[in-house]
Amino acid sequence: MSEELPPIDEWIKQQKFETTAEIKVPEKLIDQVIGQDKAVEVIKKAAKQKRHVMLIGDPGTGKSMMARAMTEFLPKEELEDILVYPNPEDPNTPLIRVVPAGKGKEIVREKKLEAKKKSEQQSSVIMSLSIMIILTSIFYSVISKHPEYALFGILGGILIYALLARGAMSPSRIELQNTPKLLVGHEKDDKPPFIDATAAHSGALLGDVRHDPFQSAGLETPPHQLVEAGAIHRAHKGVLYIDEINTLSLQSQQHLLTAIQEKKFQITGQSERSFGAMVKTEPVPCDFILVSAGNLDALQGMHPALRSRIRGYGYEVYLNSTMDDTDENRKKLIRFVAQEVVKDGRIPHFDKGAVAEIIREAQRRAGRKGKLSLRLRELGGLIRVAGDIASSEGAKVVTREHVIRAKEIARSLEHQVASRTIETRKEYKSFKTEGAEVGVVNGLAVYSADPSLSEYAGIVLPIVAEVTPAGSRAEGRIIATGKLGEIAKESVQNISAIIKKYMGKDISDHDIHIQFIGTYEGVEGDSASLSVITAVISALENVKVRQDTAITGSLSIRGNVLPVGGITAKVEAAAEAGLKRVIIPKSNLKDVLIDERYRDKIEIIPVETLREALEHVLVGDGKEELLEKLSRMRPPEVVGKVELESEKRIVEPKK
């Protein structure tokens, strides 16, 4: 449990700095990683022992930074240059040679100088021969008085020079065939390489052989000169980083597995129609550490054998998306602000007030009390926008006002769309914010929740219910419209169980119609369960619902209100829409971290049961009678863990 700290504004005053310019930024990249202490320890161990690592976590939590930092901890090992030589016996199987770092460039340079020298000597000989032929022909044409000799001699000299000095048989082309190509080169003091192969196609990842359009008449390029190293070869003795590894084709993942196992991999043409498909080198060294990364869904698209290899010879790490709101972690966020300012290099430093606002935003985006968000890439974006605003005004430091203005500018696309949707619905009166109606409830939802974003956009979701005589003699039906997803459909189906249990009513002779208004993008999740059951009960009992109140919460079939996600965004959406009250699950109350501008606009009412929610939202005739009925029909209470073999732990409520 995190320690109780004073509010941000009081806490920041106790810190011994005036601006982030006074905060020391660590030199090592690994020390700049925030909130991932366990993952950092694993990275250090993996680097020293040369183990593979798979990092799974939300975007912006530091996966690529940790992968890049691995090179700082790799054991000292001499890097190697890789050369490809022509194979006199089989030109389509170039030879691979490995030399110490820095030697490869020297070898290629020496070979090129030697080839150039020979080429110049041969060119001068050919030139002399051509001139001699031309002069001789002119001399004989003068003596014999046959000018055609001179013409033939000049044409012959030019033809010989063009053929031998500049054509397919030229010395430079012949020497090119004997000059090796540097596939992978390093300087002697280079650090181990870090190669980012994210979204690389097969040729860029595994190496390729370029297509040669001139494949005959002696004009073709020597096959070894067409060979190109892949990311796995350039990462030799270093780190290969692949984000969203599940986006690689299964064939590429299989080849990657082979490279990891064998520590060498042949280069061949990746296109079947290319000339390079005929070329296949000797195995090329590729002894690297693989750091793969992705979200949880990345596991579904991974080749089972590749993941097994990583698990057997390395580590799997699930990164934190939040950290405890402690004194130490708040100080880390101060350092993070300083790091981002230094890294950007174009924005001024932040004062205490601006830093306090960034920490408050980290609390808000965490979505849970006592936590700070570790989706630092998005916080970094907010820092840069605030810095840009300060720079445009010529301010020497970024202040709280700059950050507050930046929050409005840096809103996600979903937030902007949600705001305009709410404005449009208010204008066309898609929902009401005052009065009372039967069977009409203002629900709340999250608009297009993108898993790559830590901040949700809330929206008001009007829900209307109506009860009609059953259209079938066999049974009544629950008919829900509004492009519902699977989970939403299942949550609606639970309504009949709750109504039978609480209301004591047989609804088999009724059809219940539920309409989600304006849900063109669809509805998914069960967070509207409480809103739906409220609308249905209102329609069944003909009791009015307050229209100045929004409702959100999941509901169990026992009538308990369960927590939902995106609670802060939903409450803010209700306030922005002009609603006065919002009913939320009591277990979510600690997670509500709304902006200051909304606090005086809306009343938050936490509830634990369906009866509590109805007590706050229903008005008019029939309310007290309905609540009394609900009290009598209250379901059993769970007082302990329910064993699968029996239900001895379930007891009836005391009368």
Q: Is the pLDDT of residue 284 over 80?
A: yes
Q: Is the pLDDT of residue 272 over 80?
A: no
List the structure tokens of 357: 């606002």
Please report whether residue 79 resides in a domain.
Answer: yes
List the structure tokens of 543: 């009791």
Please report whether residue 17 resides in a domain.
Answer: no
pLDDT score recorded for residue 460? 86
- The single-letter code of the amino acid at 371 is K
- Is pLDDT larger for residue 77 or for residue 50? 50
Q: How confident is the model at residue 120 (pLDDT cuts 50, 70, 90)?
A: low
pLDDT score recorded for residue 634? 54
Which residues is 291 bridged to in the sheet? 53, 241
Sign of CA dihedral 633, 639, 641, 643: negative
Q: Where a domain ends, among 292, 319, 346? A: 319
Q: CA 378, CA 383: separation in Å to the nearest integer? A: 9
pLDDT score recorded for residue 126? 73
- Is pLDDT larger for residue 651 or for residue 626? 626
Contact 352, 18 (CB under 8 A): yes
493 shares a domain with 371: no
Q: Where a domain ends, among 275, 299, 319? A: 319
Q: For the segment 613-623, what is each residue's pLDDT rounded down to a tens digit? A: 999 999 988 88
| Total residues belonging to the chain | 655
Q: For the segment 406-427, what is each residue's pLDDT rounded down to a tens digit? A: 988 887 777 777 777 777 766 6
pLDDT score recorded for residue 173? 58
Q: Is the pLDDT of residue 125 over 80?
A: no
Mean of pLDDT over the chain: 84
**How deeply is 259 buried, as exposed, middle or buried, from its count of CB atoms within 10 A (0-12, 13-18, 19+)?**
buried
Q: For the segment 429-484, what is each residue's pLDDT rounded down to a tens digit? A: 678 888 999 999 999 888 754 555 556 778 888 999 998 888 776 677 888 887 77
Please report whether residue 579 resides in a domain.
Answer: yes
Q: For the segment 54-82, what is each residue's pLDDT rounded down to a tens digit? A: 999 888 888 989 998 998 888 888 899 99
Q: How confident is the model at residue 210 (pLDDT cuts 50, 70, 90)?
A: confident
Please report whether residue 117 resides in a domain.
Answer: yes
pLDDT score recorded for residue 591? 86
548 shares a domain with 456: yes
pLDDT score recorded for residue 381? 92
| Number of domains the chain is built from | 4
HSE at residue 407, side-chain half, CA atoms within 13 A, is 18
Please report whether residue 315 resides in a domain.
Answer: yes
pLDDT score recorded for residue 269? 87
pLDDT score recorded for residue 639? 46
Picking from 479, 565, 473, the residue whose alpha carbon sits closest to that of residue 528 is 565
Q: How confident is the model at residue 296 (pLDDT cuts 50, 70, 90)?
A: confident
Contact 288, 239 (CB under 8 A): yes
Can you give the residue range of the structural domain that contains 357? 1-8+321-410
325 shares a domain with 397: yes
- The single-letter code of the amino acid at 639 is V
pTM of the model: 0.75
> Any alpha helices (H) in 237-375, and if so which ranges?
250-262, 304-312, 327-344, 352-366
585 shares a domain with 561: yes
pLDDT score recorded for residue 520? 66
The CATH number covering residue 93 comes to: 3.40.50.300
Q: Is the pLDDT of residue 213 over 90?
A: no
61 shares a domain with 73: yes
171 shares a domain with 217: no
447 shares a domain with 554: yes
HSE at residue 248, side-chain half, CA atoms within 13 A, is 28
Please report whether residue 13 resides in a domain.
Answer: no
Neighbour count for residue 462 (Cβ, 10 Å): 20
The helix/strand/coil state of 315 is strand
Please report whether residue 649 resides in a domain.
Answer: no
The CATH number covering residue 369 comes to: 1.10.8.60
Q: For the segment 316-359, what is each residue's pLDDT rounded down to a tens digit? A: 999 999 999 999 999 999 999 999 999 999 999 999 999 999 99
215 shares a domain with 83: yes
Strands 181-184 and 80-85: antiparallel
Q: Which residues have a Cβ under 8 Å from the Cβ of 134 and sit 6 or more positions away?
A: 153, 154, 156, 157
Q: Is the pLDDT of residue 372 over 80?
A: yes
Characterize 605-636 residue by residue with b for buried, 16 or more Cβ atoms within 10 angstroms of its Cβ, and e for exposed: bbbebbbbbbbbbbeeebbeebeebbeeebbe
Picking from 350, 356, 234, 335, the residue whose alpha carbon sits closest to that of residue 284 is 234
312 shares a domain with 448: no
Q: How confident is the model at residue 387 (pLDDT cuts 50, 70, 90)?
A: very high
Q: Is the pLDDT of residue 3 over 90?
A: no
Weakest mean pLDDT among 286-290, 305-309, 453-457: 453-457
335 shares a domain with 383: yes
**How deeply is 466 buried, as exposed, middle or buried, from its count of CB atoms within 10 A (0-12, 13-18, 19+)?**
middle
Quote the percentage of the chain above a pLDDT of 90. 43
Please report whether residue 2 resides in a domain.
Answer: yes
- Report CA-CA distances (Å) from 582 to 27, 110, 402, 481, 594: 48, 79, 30, 24, 13
Q: For the segment 228-246, what is each residue's pLDDT rounded down to a tens digit? A: 999 999 999 999 999 988 8
pLDDT score recorded for residue 356? 95
Q: Is the pLDDT of residue 648 over 50?
A: no
What is the residue-wise DSSP string for 448-467?
S--TT-SS--EEEEEEEEEE
Q: Is the pLDDT of residue 635 over 90?
A: no
Q: How confident is the model at residue 215 (pLDDT cuts 50, 70, 90)?
A: low
Active site residues: 527, 570
568 shares a domain with 442: yes
Q: How confident is the model at residue 646 (pLDDT cuts 50, 70, 90)?
A: very low
377 shares a domain with 312: no
Q: Where a domain ends, among 375, 390, 410? A: 410
**How deeply is 258 buried, as exposed, middle or buried, from its count of CB atoms within 10 A (0-12, 13-18, 19+)?**
middle
Q: How confident is the model at residue 171 (pLDDT cuts 50, 70, 90)?
A: low
Tokens 């309504």 correspond to 495
Q: How confident is the model at residue 528 (pLDDT cuts 50, 70, 90)?
A: confident
List the structure tokens of 259: 């490279």
